[in-house]
Structure 1
Amino acid sequence: GFDSASASSDSIDMVDAFAGLPATALTESTADAQEVYVESIQKWFEVRRQYIQWVDGHLAQMQIATDITTRKQAQELARQQDEKLQFTSRLMTMGEMASSLAHELNQPLAAINNYASGTVALVKSGRAAPENLLPVLEKTAQQAVRAGMIIKRIREFVKRSEPKRQATRVADIVADAVGLAEIEARKRRIRIVTDMRSRMPVIYVDPVLIEQVLVNLLKNAAEAMADARPNAIDPVIRVIVKREGGNVCISVVDQGPGVDEATAERLFEPFYSTKSDGMGMGLNICRSIIESHRGRLWVVNNVETDGHISGATFHCSLPIGESDNPSRNTEEPTPQTVTGEP
């Protein structure tokens, strides 16, 4: 056993992971750095450890502490600003959608009004038999659920939230995003078609943030198509969902003017916009959201065999990630191809 009373200066060997290595290997090795918070003075330090050969030939360990409090504060400020930008972007998207949302909510509310009036008429005319009333009441309830779903989606979309990663079905994110963007697309007589043929794994993401990215991409696609080809016959935006190795790739394929090479990378820069009234935060925030999920977002033109450009495709690739509980089934059932109504 090791007797603490007889501990010599060599007792450092008991805790030093590098003990026994040749001196040259240690003095040439790179310094390892650790960040340490000293609560008593409320400062952050980056502590580096380096081995040096002392003048008498012995090996000494040198530790250098650098005050990095300002850097830490700057990082935290940047994180908070990014969060505020994401929130602002959501509010801007909502502001642009407000009039269309009123229109979208009007439909179920008008239907409920009609069905309720019909029910009153049946009761007044003495034809209030269950077989007459039930179908009308069921339809009324369906429309109320539809209106409630629209409101629920909006609330989740706008609500400011810290990124909350959870097991999420890809089909649910896509369906919710398409449901929101369809309001805008329908106004421009553009259909959104979802194509998801293979079984999709469950992914571990913040569903509200990923949904925000998809809504932005779909909204941009609808605007680009309406501006470039206002009189197109049956314009369609396709959402293609595929599994590619360890990633899920969601692609938004439009029939707009495409993107010229000079613009392609600049699209994702902060405050760069191709729209006269654009704030230029949308795609920059989209990319930072996807990259915070260790994913990628990029754009390519759709080039036909004869060389002409028939639109652009935004690809959004997300890693599948590991489940906390491996015994759980991480496959979701295969949905069919769904076609949006014009």
Structure 2
Amino acid sequence: MPHLNTLVRLLREAAPLGAQADALLALCRARPQVARALYLTWQPRSRSYEAVGGGERLPPGAGDPLQADDDALHARLGACRQLPLETLMAVPGWLGGRLRRAGWSHGLALVLPLRGEPGVLLLATDEAAGSAWLDWLGELLGEVLALAGGARRTAPLLAAEPLPALLLDAQARRLDGNPVFDRLAAELGLDDPRALLPANHVQLLRGCLEQARALQDAPSEVAGRQFLWSFIPDVGNGEVLVRGREASAQIQGEREAAKARRLYRQIIENTTDLISRRTLDGIILDASPASWTLLGYWPEELRGQPALPLLHPQDRERVARSTRDALEQDGYVTLTYRLRHRDGRYLWFETASRAIRETYTGAVVEVVSVSRDITARVRAEENLRRLAEVVEANTDLVLFVDPAGRPTYFNPSARRALNLDGEAIPASLDGLFDDALLRQLERDGWRCADERSVWQAEGYLRPRGERPPLPVSLVLLGHRAAGGERYYSLVARDMTERELRENQQRRHQDELAHTARLVTLGELASGIAHEINQPLAAVVNYAGASQRYLQSLGSNPDAAQRVAQGLARITEHANHASEVIRRLRAFLRKGQRRLQALDINELARESLGLCAWEAGQGKVAIEQALTDNLPPVYADRVLLEQVFLNLLRNAIEANRERHAGAPSAIVIGSALEADGRLCVWVEDDGPGASAETLERMFTPFYSSKPDGLGLGLSMSRGMVEGFGGTLQAHPAEGGGLRLECRLPAAGEGARRA
């Protein structure tokens, strides 16, 4: 049985002719009745039969082999299925003689084709054994060959294959399949098991047969599971063995790995950081495309080049030493240094490097580095350092305040000025600001700093200890952090010296104003003398008349009454003279300024009294256009009266210059403007002023008069601005000049003053 199974398997597997012939001969020789067995195949070229397989070989026949043939025997065997050996050797031809020379005498010749080729099986037996059983053996072998030849052949070891396998013909029809394949198809619920194969399996099958080569790892997907199939062709039989394996985890892993590789590659190619590989000695192996953006070199230009020459000369030795030591010991290092751009400038870089080691020896085989351009950051840090040095060395007081209003930093100047040396930072600003400044800060400061980023004020700070209040000009700056949080900076400038200068300047201005008043009174001396002489002359006249009436008391009954009337007139005119002198003394007053609420109309009328005689001498009428019930202004009475007097005298001089003694008029008026300020204006009917004169009119020592000093209007503007007001000049409608003095109402004026 083993020989028969072997023969059938080889026939089904279409084994080579020699292997099939050996299996057939082994089966025959296993029978004790068979003495010899030989399988012969027809050779068309030599027209003779030749032995096949590992059996015996026949000796050559008699005569010339080139002239010999077995055509007659081949024709005889083609017409029958078997022939006694004696009959075969009697047929004329080459084979009979060879058999006789080989000692063949009794047996049977069976016509048994193998692999579709004509062939003859020769069986020799002892003559005593008979030939009946040979006929039976011939029929049996004929049936076996017929059945094996007509049966479907299977792939080698198909049943024992642990992976799903399928045998297909050239038209992709199933010839056979192993149990693993069938179980997998049933598990997936497939009506046609071939649905497990790739959708293009027909084309793959034809391709592997035409190309006579195996195709591997053709993918298919069924119910979310991945499979890889190999197509192994049997070109001779026009069949293909298809073997597969499930690769869901592998394909998923490969897809994830490919996705990760694409992602990493995309990151490397698009990142703004420079990613590079180099040897431990600094030879660049590869670089990302960011090298062009950062350094002006393409990766191809950097490959194979040493990295050290790109470093700044001052950084080379430090970087080379630190990098090699750290990578060999720790495997990781981060350094900051300068690299030269292609255009010659140097940029700051921060590089993190990691060593890649050989698995078994631990030696560093290459270094992977990620370099980032930190030039902007280094410059920003340098600017911050310089700014910190400026803040520390600044003579102004600098405070940092958090969103809750708590101070977090005082520069040295602030600590010295506030007497905080050695003390902790105060918890709030309450004890550092005077009450008025603190109220302004709470009312307007924080809001303005949030809305407009800046707020300014002036006030006083309170140093610790017994030090006097410190006058400062304060600026509050509002900042916004990257996260949107608010924080603040307070910059205060010590105004002590400015106050001293302003006080000194004010004293100088007051001295100059007093001198100007003396000069003015000197210029008005005639008018003042006339105004005093009139009441004095009246006093003398009334005194003389009273004396005469006293002498006639006895004879004149009305004398006593006349004396009483004269004394009353004397008192009246004496008081008038006293009032004139009082006004003169007040106008000439010298001393510290006294700011008070004043009626601007009353002050204007008093100024009219001082210059009325001068106006009368020049035939200049003064018209009043004063608005009643105006709010008061906050100023120094004497200085403001001097301003009005200067404006009136300038107007009188302008009219006298133009009209030369002819009658003319000037107007003084007052009004409350829409913005809440009070305006006192004096308009003349003089020659007016050019545009250049209007621009220079308030410049010190500039005057259009031949004998003028050019200080009147300049001093007047300075005094008005000191009260928080303005003094301006405009052309009048009639061709003259209009001077306008604007002053804030009492509350606002007091704050500004």
User: TM-score scaled by structure 1?
Assistant: 0.72
Aligned partners of 1:164 and 1:254: how far apart in 2?
Answer: 31
SS of the equivalent of 1:225 reads helix
What amino acid is the match of 1:100?
A: G
Letter in 1 for 2:515: T
Q: Work out whether 1:15 is the aligned partner of 2:452.
A: no
Which one-letter code corresponds to 1:291 in the other structure?
E
Distance 1:30 1:317 in 2: 28
1:88–1:115 CA distance, 2 compared to 1 (3 A): same
Give the 3 Å change call, closer, same or farther, for CA 71–132 of structure 1 in structure 2.
closer
From 645, 661, 666, the counterpart of 1:237: 666
The structure 2 residue matched to 1:228, chosen from 633, 645, 658, is 658
Contact 2:630 2:672 in 1 (8 A): yes
2:159 — aligned with what?
A: none
Structural mapping, 1:272-283, within 5 Å: 272-283=702-713
Q: Note closer, same or farther for the CA distance 1:134–1:35 as it changes in structure 2 (3 Å cut).
A: closer
Q: Which amino acid in structure 1 is aligned with residue 528 of structure 2? A: L
Change (3 A) 1:40 1:199: closer
CA distance in 2, matches of 1:198, 1:79: 32
* Corresponding residue for residue 616 of structure 2: 186
Distance 1:85 1:203 in 2: 23
**Counterparts of 2:643 and 2:545, CA distance in 1:** 42
Task: Check the 8 A contact 1:264/1:299 in 2, yes or no.
Answer: yes
Are the counterparts in 1 of residues 668 and 681 from structure 2 also a CA contact under 8 Å?
yes
1:6 corresponds in structure 2 to none
In 1, are the aligned partners of 2:678 and 2:743 still within 8 Å (CA)?
Answer: yes
- Show structure 1 runs of 5+ residues with no match: 1-8, 18-24, 51-60, 325-342
Q: Secondary structure at the match of 1:322?
A: helix
* 2:580 aligned residue: 150
Which residue does 2:545 correspond to in 1?
Answer: 118
Q: Secondary structure at the match of 2:586?
A: helix
**Secondary structure, counterpart of 1:303 in structure 2:** coil
Q: Which runs of 4+ in 1 moved over 6 A?
A: 29-42, 44-50, 61-70
Q: Secondary structure at the match of 1:268?
A: coil
Q: What are the superposed Cα offsets for residues 281-334 of structure 1, whole Å, 9 maximum, x if unpaired?
A: 111110011111111111112224xxxx1x21111111112299xxxxxxxxxx
**Is 1:198–1:243's contact at 8 Å kept on the other side of the alignment?**
no
- Aligned partner of residue 167 in structure 1, secondary structure: strand
1:15 counterpart SS class: coil
Instruction: Write the distance in 1 (CA, Å) between the matches of 2:706 and 2:462.
Output: 47
1:66-85 to 2 correspondences below 5 Å: 74-85=501-512
**In structure 1, what is the equivalent of residue 739 of structure 2?**
314
- Give the match's secondary structure for 1:14: coil
2:720 aligned residue (290, 293, 316):
290
For 1:154-169, what aligned pairs fall within 5 Å after superposition?
Answer: 154-169=584-599
- Residue 562 (structure 2) pairs with residue 96 (structure 1): no
Number of the residue aligned with 1:133: 563
Amino acid at match of 2:580: I
Change in CA separation of 1:142 and 1:75 when aligned onto 2, cut-off 3 Å: closer
Letter in 1 for 2:428: V
Letter in 2 for 1:114: N
Q: Which residue identity lines up with residue 322 of structure 1 in the other structure? A: G
Q: CA deviation at 1:220?
A: 1.4
CA deviation profile, 1:254-286 (whole Å, cap 9, x unmatched): 111112211112111111111111111111110
The answer on whether the counterparts of 2:619 and 2:662 sit within 8 Å (CA) in structure 1 is no
Distance 1:74 1:180, change over 3 A: same
* SS in structure 2 at match of 1:314: strand
1:86-118 Cα shifts (integer Å, max 9, x gaps)? 222222212212232112211111111111111
- Give, as a single letter, the amino acid of the residue that structure 1 aligns with 2:595: R
Deviation at 1:208, TM superposition (A): 1.2
Opposite residue 270 of structure 1, the aligned amino acid is: P
Q: Give the AA of the match of 2:427.
A: M
Does the residue aligned with 2:592 lie in a helix, a strand or coil?
A: coil
CA contact (8 A) 2:678 2:744 kept: yes
Question: Shift of the alpha carbon at 1:178?
Answer: 0.7
Closer, same or farther: CA 169–228 of 1 in aligned 2, 3 Å: same
Q: Does residue 269 of structure 1 match 2:682?
A: no
Q: Distance in 1 between matches of 2:547 and 2:497?
A: 70
Measured after TM superposition, the shift of residue 200 of structure 1 is 1.6
**1:99 & 1:243 partners in 2: Cα distance?**
36
Given that residues 34 and 48 in structure 1 are in contact (C-alpha distance below 8 angstroms), is that contact kept between their aligned partners in structure 2? no
Deviation for aligned residue 1:173 = 0.6
Over 3 Å counting, the alpha-carbon distance change for 1:76 and 1:15 in structure 2 is same
In structure 2, the residue corresponding to 1:259 is in which secondary structure?
coil
Q: Summarize the Cα distance change of 1:297–1:45 in structure 2 as closer, same or farther, 3 Å threshold.
A: closer
Tell whether the 8 Å contact from 1:299 to 1:313 is kept in structure 2 after alignment.
Answer: yes
Gap change, CA 1:206 and 1:63, over 3 Å in 2: closer
- 8 Å CA contact 1:37–1:45 kept in 2: the answer is no
| Counterpart among 532, 536, 539 of residue 105 in structure 1 | 532
**Cα distance, 1:131–1:35 mapped onto 2, change above 3 Å:** closer
Deviation at 1:182, TM superposition (A): 0.9
Q: Unpaired segments of 5 or more residues in structure 2?
A: 1-407, 410-423, 431-448, 478-487
**Cα distance in 2 between the residues matched to 1:294 and 1:108:** 40
Which residue matches 2:729?
A: 299
What is the deviation of 1:37?
10
* Alignment RMSD: 3.7
Secondary structure of the residue aligned to 2:701 is: coil
Distance apart, 1:40 and its partner CA: 11
- Write the distance in 2 (CA, Å) between the matches of 1:242 and 1:48: 36
Count of residues paired in the alignment: 292
Deviations 1:124-177 (A, max 9, x none): 233353432333332222211211111011101111132211122223211211
Question: Match of 2:148?
Answer: none
Separation in 2, partners of 1:241, 1:322: 19
Superposed, which structure 2 residues align to 1:173-212 within 5 Å?
Answer: 173-212=603-642
Give the structure, 1 or 2, with the largest relative contact order (CA under 8 Å, sep 6 or more).
1
Cα distance change of structure 1 residues 257 and 152 upon mapping to structure 2, 3 Å threshold = same
Matches of 2:539 and 2:689, distance apart in 1: 44
Pair 135,204 (structure 1): closer, same or farther in 2 beyond 3 Å: same
3-state SS of 2:732 partner = strand
Distance 1:227 1:73, change over 3 A: same
Q: Is the contact made by 2:550 and 2:560 (CA closer than 8 Å) also made in structure 1?
A: no
Aligned to 2:318: none
Contact 2:681 2:739 in 1 (8 A): yes
Residues 48 and 63 in structure 1, CA contact (< 8 A), matched pair in contact too: yes
Superposed CA deviations along residues 55-79 of structure 1, whole A, max 9, x for unmatched, are: xxxxxx9999999876665444433
